[in-house]
Amino acid sequence: MTARSRFLPGGWLSVYAFLYIVFLYLPVIFLPIFSINTAPTPKFPLTGYTLQWYEDLPHTPALLDAAWNSLIVGVSASVLATVLGILAARSITRYRYPGRRAINGLIMAPLVLPEVIVAISMLLVMLQLGLSLSLFTVVLGHVLVCIPYSMTVLTSGFEGFDRSLEEASADLGESAFGTFRRVTLPMVAPAIISSLLVCFTISLDEFIIAFFLTGTEATLPIYIWGQLRFASKLPGVLALGTLLLVASFLLMTIAEILRRRAARRTQNEGGLYA
């Protein structure tokens, strides 16, 4: 691999890679730039520096309501998805049974299903079940889209969990509950926290499912969508968007660090690699 890459046109490849990254991230960089611009319309040249749009945010009751709703939905969905994810990941990594792969595939499927279709189907099912649309139905929808992410994080934390660690604990006199508390839980804790953070972030940013399944209560993305109709509200939306962006980035970074730590803990066990 490395030997062959020396003969590739390294210069052009670098240019391509650079343009690719720029295309991907330039819009994201405009967001914070225009959010501190004094002009209410997002265009160059910049007119001046201000934090006014950020200062206005806490004085917008509808926004605070939306933030609170998003928090409730995010926490509920991430806890539910992680609990279900733990059970599924444990079963997939620990036991061998017929249909294991198929089940794994079905759990991961929402990752590749068009979200609009999922949202509409869920809406139909919820209405058929006689559920009235509320934050609760949004939570159910978010659990569905969060579980694949939760599974991915948790499987990488559980995979290679040396079963003899639990046996060693029992051998040293510890009860089943004590073993869970002193060995299993500390070992997989980083993966669990990582899964919670990932799910929370996804729920926080998710728009389509929330849009279809919520009643009168808006989550943050829905609030932003609503604000886009008013040109004068745009700078506030940019400020809010920047904050969401930063929050997502931080949460995902922490989650990834924890996931790697969990994977390191459970893998490379035993003297073979030492």
Partner 1 sequence: MPEQPQIARPQSDRSMIEIKNVTRSYGAFKALDDASLTIREGEFFSLLGPSGCGKTTLLRMIAGFDNPTSGSIAVGGQPMEGIPPNRRPTNMVFQSYAIFPHLNVEQNVAYGLKRLKLQGGEEKRRVEEALAQVSLTGLGKRLATELSGGQRQRVALARALVMRPKVLLLDEPLSALDKKLREQMQVELRRLQQAVGITFVLVTHDQYEALAMSDRIAVMFGGKIAQVASPKEIYQRPVNRQVADFLGGMNFVKAEIVEENGASLVVDTLGFGRVKTDKPKAFVRNGGGATLGIRPERLRVLWDNATAKFEVAGKVVERHYFGEITHLIVEIPGLEKPLSVTETNDFGADDIPVGTPIRLAYDPEALVAMAD
Task: Tell me the closest approach of the beta carbon of residue 257 to partner 1, in angstroms.
Answer: 16
Can residue 215 be called a binding residue for partner 1 (CB under 8 A)?
A: no
Can residue 271 be called a binding residue for partner 1 (CB under 8 A)?
A: yes
Residues 90-129 that bind partner 1 (CB under 8 A): none
**151: phi > 0 → left, psi -120 to 50 → alpha, else beta; which?**
alpha
**Given candidates 168, 228, 246, 257, which one binds partner 1 under the rule CB under 8 A?**
168
Nearer of residues 55 and 162 to partner 1, judged by Cβ: 162
**Given candidates 94, 100, 181, 264, which one binds partner 1 under the rule CB under 8 A?**
264
Q: Which stretch binds partner 1 (CB under 8 A): 66-74, 198-206, 222-230, 260-268?
A: 260-268
Can residue 167 be called a binding residue for partner 1 (CB under 8 A)?
A: yes
Task: Tell me the closest approach of the beta carbon of residue 264 to partner 1, in angstroms.
Answer: 8
Long-range pairs, 264-272, Cβ under 8 A, ≥24: 265/187, 265/190, 266/157, 266/158, 266/159, 266/160, 266/161, 266/162, 266/187, 266/188, 267/159, 267/160, 269/160, 269/162, 269/165, 270/162
User: How many other C-beta atoms lie within 10 A of the C-beta of residue 109?
Assistant: 13
Can residue 182 be called a binding residue for partner 1 (CB under 8 A)?
A: yes
Can residue 174 be called a binding residue for partner 1 (CB under 8 A)?
A: yes
Can residue 229 be called a binding residue for partner 1 (CB under 8 A)?
A: no
